[in-house]
Amino acid sequence: MKISALLILLLLQIIWTDSSFATPFRAGAATANVTPPLGIEINGGTAPVTATHVHDELHARVLVLDDSAMRLAFVVVDNCLIDRNLFDAAKALIFQHTGIASNFVSISTTHTHSAGSVTGVHLSEPDAAYRAWLPRRIADAVRVAVNNLAPARVAWGSGSVPQHVFCRRVTVKPGVTYTNLLGAPGDGVKMNWSSPQPEVERDFAGPTDPEVFVLSVQHADGRPLSLLANYSLHYVGGVGPGHLSADYYGIFCEQMKELLGAEKQNPAFVAIMSNGTSGDINNNDFRKVRPSQKPYEQIQLVADDIAREVHRIVKTLTHRDDLKLSAVSTELDVAVRKPSEPEVLRARGIVNGRDRLQLRTWPEFYAREQLILASYPDRVSLPLQVFRIGDLAVAQWPGEIFAASGLDLKQCSPVKPLFNISMANGWYGYIPPPEQHALGAYETWRGRTSPLATNTIPQITDSFLKLLNELDRP
C-alpha cells in the first residue's frame, strides 16, 4: 500500500509539473457589425448630421484572454460616446451568457466622430432604437470570442508615431485678450484652431503621448490571432458629408490584416485599435497650414503610419504562453459641477423654450447644457479598472482624459509597462487636470462635455495607483 501511494504521489507530481498536462493559456477574438441604419443622427460635431452613406462598416471588436483561472475581455466599439448605463446593460448580457463578470470586462469606444448617436451631447440626442439594439450586439461579439478560445501565446511592445499627435489647446500670448466662443474674455488657451495666428498663439498648452503600444496574440502554431493596439489620438476626421466611418481606427485594423498576412484565416484574425489618453490631442499642427485633401486622405495616412510601426514592433516580439492574468477595480465617488439657481434662470431665458435644433450660437448651446446639467445628481460614481497580463498593466479610464494624466500614470505606476485606455466603461465628458481647468477653453466649460469637479483627476490617479499596488504579481 505504501509503494502504491508513493507511485500515485509521484505520478501526480509529474502531471502538475509537466507542461504537457497543464491547461494552456488561451485567447479568442471576434467582431460584430454595429453599423446603424442610414438616417440616424451622427453626433461628432456641435450640431447633429444625418447619416446618408456608409463609407466603412462600424464594429465591436473583442479580445478574450484565459489563463485557466481567470478570463479578461477587451471590447472596443466604433462609436463616439457611450454612457455607463449602456455599457452596464451589455456587461449584464455578457455575464449571463459567458459567466465573465463585469469587473473583468473592459468596454470602450474608439471615439470616431462619424458614428450613430447613442449618448446625447451638444444638440444631438440618442437614437432610442439603436441604443436598445447595441448592447446585444456587443455581448454577442464577446460570446463568439469565447467560442473561439484556443491555445495561444502573447507578447507586447511599444514604438512611437510622434508625427500625428498635437496638443489642440494653444496658449494665448500674454497681454492678448482672447474672446472665446461663448463671447467671454479670459480663457488662457483656445482650442482646435486650424491655421497659424502668430499675433494670438504662443505654444501648445500640454504634452502629447506619441507611444503606440501593442499587445500581440498568436495561435500556438504562430499564426496571428489578434492584436490590441493603443494610440493617444482623439480622431482624424475629414470624412465625406453624412458618412458613417470608423475613422483611422477601422482603416488601421484592415491594414494590420494585410501586413500580417492574415486576411483569410478561420477563425478570422481580429485587429483592434483602442484610444489612449487623447482628450486634448488632435491631428492638426496649428503652426502650419494643411494643404487641401480629399475625404479620407488624412485618415489613410495616419492609419498607414501607425500600422507600419505596429508591424515593425510585432516582428521583434517573442511570444509566451506562461502568463497569469489578474484584475482589480473600484468605484470612485466624485462631485458634479452643477449650475446655481440664478445660472439656471439665466440659461432658461436664453433658450426661451426653443427646440434643440432651433438653437444656433455657442451661448445658446451652453445655456441648454446648463439646463440639462441641473438635473444631474450632485455626485456620480466612476468605474476604475486595471487588468494585468503577466508584467503588463492596462488602466481603463472613464471619460476623455488629457495626455498629461496618462503620461503621469505611466511614470508613477509601480507596474511597468502600462498603457491607458480612455472612454472605458462609461463616458463622463472631458476630465482635465486642475491646471488645465484654470486655463479654460472648451474642454473645461461646464456641461455634459465637462461635468465633473476640477479636482477629479488627482483623485482618479491616486485610486489607480492604489489599484496597481493591489494587483497580483505574476
SS3 of residue 52 by DSSP: coil
Bond before 339 cis per omega within 30 degrees: no
pLDDT of residue 9: 41
CB atoms within 10 A of CB 315: 11
What span, in angstroms and rounded, lies between the C-alpha atoms of 125 and 369? Answer: 12
Please identify which residue in the block is written with the cell numbers 504562430: 222
Q: Tell me whether strands 325-335 and 281-282 are parallel, antiparallel or unpaired.
A: unpaired
In whole angstroms, give the CA distance from residue 436 to residue 390. Answer: 35
Strand 243-244 relative to strand 53-54, pairing: parallel
Q: What is the pLDDT along the chain (474 residues), one digit of tens a residue?
A: 445 554 544 444 444 344 444 569 999 999 999 999 999 999 877 778 999 999 999 999 999 999 999 999 999 999 999 999 999 999 999 999 999 999 999 999 999 999 999 998 887 889 999 999 999 999 999 999 999 999 999 999 999 999 999 999 998 888 777 777 777 777 888 887 666 666 667 889 999 999 999 999 999 999 999 999 999 999 999 999 999 999 999 999 999 999 999 998 999 999 999 999 999 999 998 888 888 999 999 999 999 999 999 999 999 999 999 999 999 999 999 999 999 999 999 999 999 888 888 888 888 888 899 999 999 999 999 999 999 999 999 999 999 999 999 999 999 999 999 999 999 999 999 999 999 999 999 999 999 999 999 999 999 999 999 999 998 765
Alpha-carbon gap, residue 120 to 108, rounded angstroms: 17
Q: What is the pLDDT of residue 274?
A: 98
The per-residue pLDDT for 10 is 44
| DSSP H stretches of helix in 108-193 | 128-147
- State how far the alpha carbon of 35 is from the alpha carbons of 21, 130, 144, 243, in Å: 44, 9, 18, 11
Torsion of CA 310, 311, 313, 315, to 10 degrees: 160
Phi-psi bin for 261: left (phi > 0), alpha (psi -120 to 50), beta?
left
Pairing of β 49-50 and β 224-231: unpaired
Q: How far apart are CA 106 and CA 419, in angstroms?
A: 14
CA–CA dist 255, 271 (Å, integer): 9
Q: What are phi and psi of 255, to 5 degrees?
A: -60, -40
User: Rg of the chain's alpha carbons, rounded to an integer?
Assistant: 23
- Per-residue model confidence (pLDDT) at position 1: 42
